[in-house]
C-alpha cells in the first residue's frame, strides 16, 4: 500500500502554528508511503524576510537527521487551495548564487510570490539536489566540466525524484493542516506524485521566471541531447529542482 492515512491525535483543533508543536509532541502515526515516513512539527518562529512576513516551521522526521522546514505566509491551518511550492535545498544555488542552476531564482520567485499572496507555503526540503547529496552533485558538475554530461552518469549520481521526498512533503502538508493545495510547479508529475500520497490538489500554478541576464539563454537556445540547457559560460544546467525552468516569453517545445 502506498498511501496511508494519517490520524492526528484527537485534541482541540490547533488554531495557530505554535499549537502544532504541542499537538505533535508525541505524534507517531503509521507513516506515509512504503517507508512509513512520519514527521512532527518541532519548532515554530517568526521569520520576517525581504520577501514578506513569514513564519518558519521546523520539522523532525523518523527517517534521517534532515531538518526540513516550511516557510509559511498567512493563515494556512484549515485553509483550502493554499499555494505551495516545493524546493529542494541547493547550497550552491540558494546560498552561493551559483549560475550552474536556477535554484535561487526559483526560490526567490516562490518566496516573493507567496509573500504577496494572502497565504502560502514554501516547503524547503533539505535534500540537496533532490537527495543526490552535495558530494555527488559536485561530481556531476565535475563530469560536466570535462564535457561528460551523459544521461546514465547523471542517473547514477542520483538526479531523480525520490519517493521519499513526496512522502515527507505529503506528511508536512497535512501536519500544517492544509485542506487542499495549489502546487506551484511546471512538472505535472509532481502533482500526480503528491496525489498518490493523499494530498488534495486543486490546481497547478505555473512557475514562470522573469527573464534576466542569467537566464536569457533559455529564450534563445534549445536543450542539448541530455536535455540540459547550455548557458553563456558553456555549462549545462542540471534540472536540480526536477521542475522544468520556464522563463516568460519562452517558446515551449515538445518533450
Partner 1 sequence: MRAEEHADVLVLGAGIAGLSCASALTRAGRRVLVLEKARGVGGRAATRRLDGQPVDHGVAFIHTEDPELLAHLEAAAAAHGPDELIDWPLRVEGAGQPCLPRAFAGRERRLALRGGLTVLAKHLSAGLPLRLGQRAEGLRPGQIDCDNGLFHAPDLVITAPLPQALELLRGLPAQPELHSALELLRAATVHPCITVIATYPADRPAPAWDVCYPEGGPLALIAHDSRKRAAPRCHALVLQASPRWSREHLEGDPARWSADLLAAAAPYLPHELGAPQGLQAHRWRYARLDGASQLAEPLLIDLGGGQRLGLAGEAFAWSGGVEAAFHSGRRLAQRLLVGPHKRDL
- Residues near partner 1 (CB under 8 A) are 34-36, 62-64, 131-132, 135-136, 139, 143, 146, 148-153, 155-158, 160
Helices (H), 49-181: 103-116, 128-131, 134-145, 151-156, 163-175
Residue closer to Zn ion (CB basis): 69 or 242: 242
Residue closer to Zn ion (CB basis): 61 or 88: 88
**DSSP for 4-62, written as a single string:** ----PPP-SPP-SHHHHHHHHTT---S-BTTTTB-EEEEEEEEEEETTEEEEEEEEEES
Kindly state the number of chain residues that form the binding site for Zn ion, as judged by CB under 5 A: 5
Which of the choices partner 1, Zn ion, none does residue 192 contact, using the CB cut-off of 5 to 8 A by kind? Answer: none
To Zn ion, the closest distance from the beta carbon of 18 in angstroms equals: 32
To Zn ion, the closest distance from the beta carbon of 106 in angstroms equals: 8
Active-site positions? Answer: 162, 164
To Zn ion, the closest distance from the beta carbon of 103 in angstroms equals: 3
d(CA 220, CA 169): 35
Residue closer to Zn ion (CB basis): 103 or 170: 103
State the binding string over 194-233 for Zn ion (x if CB under 5 A, else -). Answer: ----------------------------------------
Which of the choices Zn ion, partner 1, none does residue 50 contact, using the CB cut-off of 5 to 8 A by kind? Answer: none
Instruction: Give, for 76, the enclosing helix (H) or strand (E).
Output: none
Cell of 126: 533539505
To partner 1, the closest distance from the beta carbon of 167 in angstroms equals: 14
Q: Are strands 69-73 and 52-61 parallel, antiparallel or unpaired?
A: antiparallel
221, 87 contact by CB (below 8 A): no
18, 169 contact by CB (below 8 A): no
Which of the choices partner 1, Zn ion, none does residue 2 contact, using the CB cut-off of 5 to 8 A by kind? Answer: none
Cell of 180: 487542499
Reported for 49-58, long-range contacts at CB under 8 A and 24+ positions apart, including other chains, are 49/111, 49/115, 51/108, 51/111, 51/112, 51/114, 51/115, 52/111, 52/112, 52/114, 52/115, 52/116, 53/115, 54/111, 54/115, 55/17, 57/17, 57/20, 57/176
To Zn ion, the closest distance from the beta carbon of 141 in angstroms equals: 10
Which of the choices partner 1, Zn ion, none does residue 90 contact, using the CB cut-off of 5 to 8 A by kind? Answer: Zn ion
Question: Judged by CB under 5 A, which stretch of 23-31, 92-100, 109-117, 201-209 contacts Zn ion?
Answer: 92-100
According to the binding rule CB under 5 A, does residue 90 interact with Zn ion? yes
Which of the choices Zn ion, partner 1, none does residue 93 contact, using the CB cut-off of 5 to 8 A by kind? Answer: Zn ion
Q: Which residues bind Zn ion (CB under 5 A)?
A: 90, 93, 101, 103, 240
Amino acid at each position: 500500500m502506498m498511501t496511508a492515512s494519517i490520524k492526528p491525535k484527537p485534541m482541540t483543533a490547533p488554531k495557530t502554528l505554535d499549537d502544532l508543536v504541542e499537538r505533535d509532541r508525541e505524534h507517531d502515526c503509521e507513516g506515509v508511503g512504503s517507508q512509513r515516513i512520519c514527521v512532527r512539527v518541532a519548532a515554530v518562529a517568526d521569520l520576517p524576510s525581504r520577501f514578506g512576513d513569514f513564519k518558519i516551521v521546523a520539522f523532525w522526521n523518523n527517517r534521517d537527521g534532515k531538518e526540513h522546514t516550511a516557510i509559511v505566509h498567512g493563515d494556512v491551518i484549515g485553509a483550502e487551495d493554499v499555494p505551495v511550492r516545493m524546493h529542494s535545498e541547493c547550497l550552491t544555488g540558494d546560498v552561493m548564487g551559483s549560475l550552474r542552476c536556477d535554484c535561487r531564482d526559483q526560490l526567490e520567485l516562490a518566496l516573493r510570490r507567496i509573500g504577496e499572496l494572502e497565504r502560502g507555503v514554501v516547503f524547503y526540503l533539505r535534500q540537496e539536489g533532490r537527495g543526490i547529496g552535495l558530494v555527488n552533485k559536485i561530481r556531476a558538475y565535475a563530469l560536466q566540466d570535462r564535457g561528460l554530461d551523459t544521461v546514465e552518469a547523471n542517473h547514477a549520481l542520483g538526479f531523480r525524484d525520490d519517493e521519499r521526498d513526496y512522502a515527507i512533503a505529503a506528511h508536512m502538508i497535512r501536519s500544517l493542516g492544509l485542506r487542499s493545495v495549489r502546487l506551484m510547479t511546471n512538472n505535472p508529475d509532481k502533482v500526480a506524485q503528491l496525489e498518490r500520497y493523499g494530498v488534495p490538489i486543486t490546481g497547478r500554478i505555473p512557475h514562470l521566471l522573469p527573464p534576466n541576464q542569467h537566464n536569457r539563454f533559455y529564450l534563445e537556445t534549445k536543450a542539448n541531447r541530455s536535455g540540459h540547457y547550455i548557458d553563456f559560460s558553456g555549462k549545462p544546467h542540471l534540472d536540480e529542482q526536477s521542475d522544468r525552468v520556464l522563463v516568460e516569453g519562452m517558446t515551449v517545445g515538445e518533450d
